[in-house]
Structure 1
Amino acid sequence: MKLLHTSLIFACGLVCAADDTDPVIGSIGGVELREREVLESLGGLGTMDKEALASEPAALNKLVCSMLVQRVIYQEALEKKWDVEPAIQPLLKSTREAAITDSYLKSLCRPPEGYPSESELRTAYTASREALTVPRSYRLAQVFIAAPEEGAEKTAKARLEAILKRLKAAEADFGQVAREMSEEKESAARDGEIGWLSEKQIQPEILAALPKLRLNVVSEPVRLKDGWHILKVLDAREPFTPIFDQVRVQLSQRLRAEKIRADMQAYVAETLQKHPVAINEVALSKLLQEIPPRDSVIKP
């Protein structure tokens, strides 16, 4: 998806005429983004990339949001004549050259639509089974008490004791306690639920306590730097390896990206052989002494 994001970002600077048959896809601050503009941005994608996008509808939504944000900032910059500032001209020139070069090079090195083949995909799946394995994961909920500020230790500990007392009471409702007393508001709004986390995403102190917990059993408070975490395991999954069809798109994207990178490197190497580089080391050394500090190059 990285290549897709880049193509959309460059398209944000385009201004396209719109008509009544070109519906608005999104808007921000009075700036509209039309269907045709999005389609033109996606037009350069290959079949595999389009299939990957179709499998992740939320990705298109996110990218359209990126286009809109960049568009409104772009128009603000134009209104303030930022594009004609002398200091920005070298950047515009180098950016244009880089965009054209990158786009041209990728077009030369774009794999055929049939790549990777079914056989190549299955070979990659077999070779990547270990890397594709999803580690043990837990669906967690918590009640959180923030670490006390200096001088407020007694208040925090009293709050902690009050929460523990409620949780240990008969027929205690963990979700209700989280809603009413947890100091982490985002999870509190969901009855304390944090969601699914793999072992690699969980802090070691908390991870150490999880194997001792049965489902829906409340843990003792786990103290971290940010405060106390009282945990509840809502569900757990053992490590598993996705089946081939579950990772087909992911593997295809990876193989295509790897081939593009390899072919681009080969093309650059071939270009260097045809056109050897000559550098005036003396002049370059003098130039380095004249380069101004980074924070003084461009100032709004």
Structure 2
Amino acid sequence: MSPLPCLLLSSALLLCSGMVRAAESDPTVGSIGDIELHQSEVLASLGTLGSVEKAALARDPAQLQQLVRSLLVQRVVLQEALAKKWDEEPSIQTLLKSAREAAISDSYLKAVSRPPESYPSEGELKLAYETQRAALTVPRSFRLAQIFVADENGAEKKLKAVQQRLKENPESFEKLARELSEEKESASRDGEIGWLNERQIQPEILAQLPKLRLKVVSAPIKLKDGWHILKVMDVREPFTPVFDQVRVQLAQRLRAEKARANMQAYMTELLHDHPVAVNEVALSKLLQEVPSPAAPANP
């Protein structure tokens, strides 16, 4: 599971409470307008992570970039809200109180449930690798590119035009993808979708892939959203990653499972020592105060 949601929550609390102060020597790692985000503020957000989570983040710098972008956007929204004294609204005061209590209890629960930094040991990691080898196997994968024509007015005419141009010049696939494909993200990469394994590909497309030779353009494949003209750029047969390739992934999984078990044990003991009591009479009266939903208007 990505660590970003927890990071953003803790960062919001730090920003709102003014606990983070950027010194003059604190490098700026991002800005939006006249708002700057400093190194110490990002480090404060990352400070809630354990060593395994930090290692996972180091393996994927895009996550860190996304965190910085999210914090900057959050700053802009916060600046505007405070300028309009949004935090002084009675309903927001109630919301802030609830959010504070929830954040404190949630972060405490995570802290008491967190496994020690030494977990899992090297032996536990290797045992997990051996027992989970089948689950770790990566299915057959395809590197795909596409030209996509959306199912809308004039689609068939456009589809025929694309097919005719491909027939005249099969080497023009990338150029046509840039110019005519209506899936903008892949179009910006000459139609390149990237690597997808068999489990990630829709059945209608997966059924056609074994019939396609490398670099040969397919006939249009109709799905609910429109037509997909595909090109298989490369194929990778199923394989099991070696231990070092999945060490961090395994450690994250084991730590998450241990944290869930610790949390369950903690909650069981807590509720044993502090039994919950609900006043059913008061609850029924409370329900009577809840407004009934409005009846739907007659057609």
User: What is the TM-score with the length of structure 1 in the denominator?
Assistant: 0.87
CA shift in 2, pair 1:180/1:54, >3 Å: closer
Task: Find 2:32's aligned residue among 18, 28, 32.
Answer: 28
Q: Distance in 1 between matches of 2:156 and 2:281?
A: 68
| One-letter code aligned to 1:219 | S
State the match for 2:232 in structure 1.
233
State the match for 1:12 in structure 2.
12
C-alpha contact 2:142 2:235 (8 A) present in aligned 1:
yes
1:163 is paired with a residue of what secondary structure?
A: helix
Q: Distance in 2 between matches of 1:36 and 1:143?
A: 45
1:215 partnered with 2:214 = yes
Cα shift at 1:121: 1.0
Cα shift at 1:292: 4.8
Show CA shifts across 1:215-247 (max 9, x none): 111212222233322211110111222111111
Q: Distance in 2 between matches of 1:7 and 1:292?
A: 37
State the match for 1:264 in structure 2.
263
Q: How does 1:90-169 map to 2 (within 5 A)?
A: 90-149=94-153, 152=154, 156-169=155-168
State the match for 1:43 in structure 2.
47
Show CA shifts across 1:252-276 (max 9, x none): 1111111112111111111111122
Cα shift at 1:277: 1.7
1:66 partnered with 2:70 = yes
C-alpha contact 1:222 1:229 (8 A) present in aligned 2:
yes
1:79 partnered with 2:78 = no
- Choose 248-257 or 164-173, whichever is displaced more: 164-173
CA shift in 2, pair 1:186/1:67, >3 Å: closer
- Choose 211-220 or 124-133, whichever is displaced more: 124-133
Show CA shifts across 1:40-99 (max 9, x none): 222232222222222221111111222222222122222222222111233222211111
C-alpha contact 1:143 1:178 (8 A) present in aligned 2:
yes
| One-letter code aligned to 1:263 | N
- Choose 29-38 or 115-124, whichever is displaced more: 29-38
Cα shift at 1:3: 4.3
Q: How many residues of Structure 1 are paired with residues of Structure 2 in the alignment?
A: 290
Q: Distance in 2 between matches of 1:189 and 1:91?
A: 43
Cα shift at 1:158: 4.1
State the match for 1:184 in structure 2.
183
1:173 is paired with a residue of what secondary structure?
A: helix
Q: Which runs of 5+ in 2 are unaligned?
A: 294-299
| One-letter code aligned to 1:6 | C
CA shift in 2, pair 1:135/1:185, >3 Å: same
User: What is the TM-score with the length of structure 2 in the denominator?
Assistant: 0.88
Cα shift at 1:293: 7.3
CA shift in 2, pair 1:164/1:8, >3 Å: closer
Q: How does 1:218-297 map to 2 (within 5 A)?
A: 218-292=217-291
Q: Distance in 2 between matches of 1:177 and 1:275?
A: 67
| One-letter code aligned to 1:85 | E
Q: Distance in 2 between matches of 1:8 and 1:190?
A: 31
1:217 is paired with a residue of what secondary structure?
A: coil
Q: Distance in 2 between matches of 1:252 and 1:178?
A: 41
